[in-house]
Structure 1
């Protein structure tokens, strides 16, 4: 775009939404430093969009001047801006003053606040849900550049999302530590990892951790097939087994497990352990890694990818490339249309090379 047509940028904002992921602070730091290098002001919005609508959030100002707040945060987990998994602006149904529930849409108020604050563009860091919100705001006229964030690595437009490699590293270490205790007690160990709709964490960590069975949402399983694998190992004097299961995995013809009364995925490890014990007579224990996969310092790969994404997002703003998401494609970070980026979920291919590799090594997928 010719320089005379590029937008005049003086102030940008950054927010983080959805579940946290290792590397969020690295994105914030990179985007802030890149913006400051261009002479722009940088505001951080606390807890998604809450900081725009409230003077204070959790006892802190809703907006944060990031110019002197990003030193030494690349290695930190979490996000200095806070986040929320309940930030859907479109179709929320919060409790009304009279005690009833009803839909609300604060997006017009948010657009007004962006104008009042003189914010010329937003760097929205989030997963598919948060980026869908950002895309809707873009369609209402907000200059937006998205940065993909999800430990599930399930956004189709990018080869990798930051946080995924750290989650895999955490899960792999946990699986590896279970081998010795499982063998000592001759037990079956069922390890539940995150992955509601896709099984990337289960697949990568299970393969790296030497699991005997890996269960992912994309490949429905049979308890009989899992039991057969355990019995086969018994015949070969391998009297323990390690099973890695994604939280969204399901039996053939069945449905995923949910935490009772919450609508959240969970409980698959306990249900599966009871079924395996009944089918094999083997003592079976469970480990649910849960949010430990989200916490802690990002591994170097995630730090570097996050830094690249943050700098690329500011470059996109400088070039006037709004309504896009930065993405890793091959070895390069590129910009892709935001509307397309949030519609394509990247699922484990049951016939893909990684699954085939695992099968050749004797891993069962319960099918």
Structure 2
């Protein structure tokens, strides 16, 4: 196929996760072996094309000796701050650096860019590529699994494996000391990590941002578990869950950044007061982002990387690869960059949790009459 494409770039943007290196490897292998293109890895997201001198490295078959497929994180580096259209400068001013990005693309002779990121990264990078006059194809990655247009994003499978293993480790110590163990997990405003790992890890209570809850409901479930003869209980709470009164828990970092964190400590105090149970909290944090990519993430990353290169060859720009059903498909970015994809409060996962007797908050979905379907 003579697509006119000769040189492409690949970068990772936003938070890191397991499987990013596997995507970069797949993009490189497919681009070189299938199409004979030159591939540049852009360092530290969009910053690699904005900084002078440019920060990049040519990727070849020899770049990948076997380890990158198995390594977490991203060897190209990444960033989740500094929008090039509104870039904060050291003197406190804001500068539009999009033309520097465009110039960087021209200096490298890029014909297209493969962007591995979440919906926010893809939204910004698509505008930057338009400014530069090059095509872009996106690859979804986020442990939160909140990208529209795909059933799964790279990094999600590994993260829920980590959380499930944490629950496996917390259960014996909870049983030994007759405690209620609370595990606070990531996910921002989506409860995908909490519901999936909570079910797999045998949690008694799972709290997610999409479903309202009551402290009475949480306490009632824990009392029921203890009354049934079990000496302990497990609670999983997503970091984006608010208090009963609707207040979020945020942590301030240097530079003015704020992130979710602290709802687990709040629940620990409340549950102890209401049930009399000895209660402890574990905030898993960035452990969920690291580690060896799972088999599922390696397969997904490989399929996404190959499909992204094929879309570049076909000049199907302005798209993202996505996993739908059992296939990798092309999804228009206008259907992707519409904000985070929330957990369906009336969907299969919440329904499964309720069917297992897990407290997932108050019932807000209409209950079907079984007789009506006969």
TM-score (norm 2): 0.91
For residue 129 of structure 1, the aligned residue among 116, 120, 128 is 120
In structure 2, C-alpha distance between the alignment counterparts of 1:113 and 1:139, rounded to whole Å: 13
Select which of 213, 216, 221 maps to 1:224.
Answer: 216
Cα shift at 1:352? 1.1
Structure 1 runs not aligned, ≥5 long: none
Q: Does 1:11 align with 2:7?
A: yes
1:252 is displaced (CA, Å) by: 3.8
Q: Residues 15-71 of structure 1, C-alpha deviation per residue, up to 9 Å, x if partnerless? A: 101111111000000000111111111111100022223346xxxx71111113123
Single out whichever of 80-89 and 189-198 deviates more from structure 2.
80-89
RMSD: 1.5
SS at match of 2:198: helix
CA contact (8 A) 1:227 1:279 kept: yes
Q: Distance in 1 between matches of 2:336 and 2:129?
A: 14
Match of 2:317 among 311, 322, 329: 322
Q: Give secondary structure in 1 for the equivalent of 2:259.
A: coil
Specify which of 165, 188, 192 is matched with residue 180 of structure 2: 188
> SS at the partner of 1:171?
helix
Q: Is the 8 A contact 1:17 1:87 kept in 2?
A: no
Structure 2 equivalent of residue 143 of structure 1:
135
Deviations 1:245-274 (A, max 9, x none): 111012343122111464211111111111
Are the aligned partners of 1:167 and 1:293 in contact in 2 as well (CA < 8 Å)?
yes
Query: Is the aligned partner of 1:34 residue 2:25?
Result: no
Q: Could you tell which deviates more after superposition, 338-347 or 127-136?
A: 338-347
Give yes or no for contact 1:122–1:145 (8 Å, CA) kept in 2.
Answer: yes
Work out the number of aligned pairs and report it: 355
8 Å Cα contact 2:243-2:263 kept in structure 1: no
Distance in 1 (alpha carbons) for counterparts of 2:83 and 2:268: 35
Partner-residue secondary structure (3-state), 2:172 = helix
Alignment of 1:339 onto 2:350:
no
Q: Specify the alignment match of 2:370 in structure 1.
A: none
Give the structure 1 partner of residue 206 of structure 2: 214
Cα contact 2:215–2:244 (8 A) shared by 1: no
CA distance in 1 between partners of 2:94 and 2:247 (Å): 29
CA distance in 1 between partners of 2:301 and 2:136 (Å): 18
> What TM-score do the two structures reach when normalised by structure 1?
0.93
Cα deviation, residue 276, structure 1: 1.1
Q: Confirm or deny that 1:69 pairs with 2:63.
A: yes
Following the alignment from structure 1 to structure 2, what is the Cα–Cα distance between the partners of residues 136 and 311?
24
Q: CA deviation at 1:239?
A: 2.4
Query: Counterpart in 1 of 2:96?
Result: 105
